[in-house]
Structure 1
Amino acid sequence: MRAFVLSILLALTTACSVPVAPAPPPPPPPTAAVPPSAQPLVEVVNRVMPVAVRACRSQRTRQRCDFLVALDDSPDIEANAFQTLSRDGRPVIGFTLPLVQQTRNADELAFILAHEAAHHIAGHIARGQNSARIGADLIGGLVAAGGGNDVAIREAQNFGAFLGARRYAQEFELEADALGALIAREAGYDPLRGVMFFQNAPDPGSSFLGTHPPNAARVDIVRRALAGS
Structure 2
Amino acid sequence: MAEAECKKLGIVSSCDLQIFVDDRPGLDGNAFQTRDRFGRPAILFTLPLLVDARNEDELAFILAHEAAHQIEGHIGATERSAEQGAMIFGSLAQAQGQSRADIAAAAALGAQVGARRFSKVLELRADRLGTVIAARAGYDPVLGSAYFARIPDPGDEFLGTHPPNAERKALVREVSATLARQP
In 1, Cα distance between equivalents of 2:116 and 2:145: 23
Q: Which residue, 40, 46, 49 being the options, matches 1:90? A: 40
Among all aligned residue pairs of Structure 1 and Structure 2, give the percentage whose two residues are the same amino acid. 50
User: What TM-score, normalized to structure 2?
Assistant: 0.92
Query: 1:227 offset after TM fit, Å?
Result: 3.0
Report 1 or 2 for greater relative contact order, CA contacts < 8 Å, sequence distance ≥ 6.
2
In 1, Cα distance between equivalents of 2:94 and 2:177: 49
The worse-fitting range, judged by mean Cα deviation, of 148-157 and 59-68 is 59-68
User: Would you say 1:190 and 2:140 are equivalent positions?
Assistant: yes
Long gaps (5+) in structure 2: none
In 1, Cα distance between equivalents of 2:119 and 2:27: 24
User: Would you say 1:214 and 2:164 are equivalent positions?
Assistant: yes
Amino acid at match of 2:156: S
Equivalent pairs counted in the alignment come to 179
Q: Which residue, 91, 104, 107 being the options, matches 2:54? A: 104
User: Would you say 1:130 and 2:83 are equivalent positions?
Assistant: no
In structure 2, the residue matched to 1:205 is 155
In structure 2, the residue matched to 1:176 is 126
RMSD: 1.5
The worse-fitting range, judged by mean Cα deviation, of 77-86 and 59-68 is 59-68
User: Would you say 1:228 and 2:175 are equivalent positions?
Assistant: no
How do 1:6-155 residues align onto structure 2 when only pairs under 5 Å count? 51-61=1-11, 63-155=13-105
Query: 1:85 offset after TM fit, Å?
Result: 1.3
For residues 161-207 of structure 1, the C-alpha deviation after alignment (integer angstroms, 9 at most, x for no partner) is 00000111111111111100110001111000100100121111000
For residues 72-107 of structure 1, the C-alpha deviation after alignment (integer angstroms, 9 at most, x for no partner) is 234542211111112333210111111001111111
The worse-fitting range, judged by mean Cα deviation, of 60-69 and 87-96 is 60-69
State which structure, 1 or 2, has the greater radius of gyration over its C-alpha atoms: 1
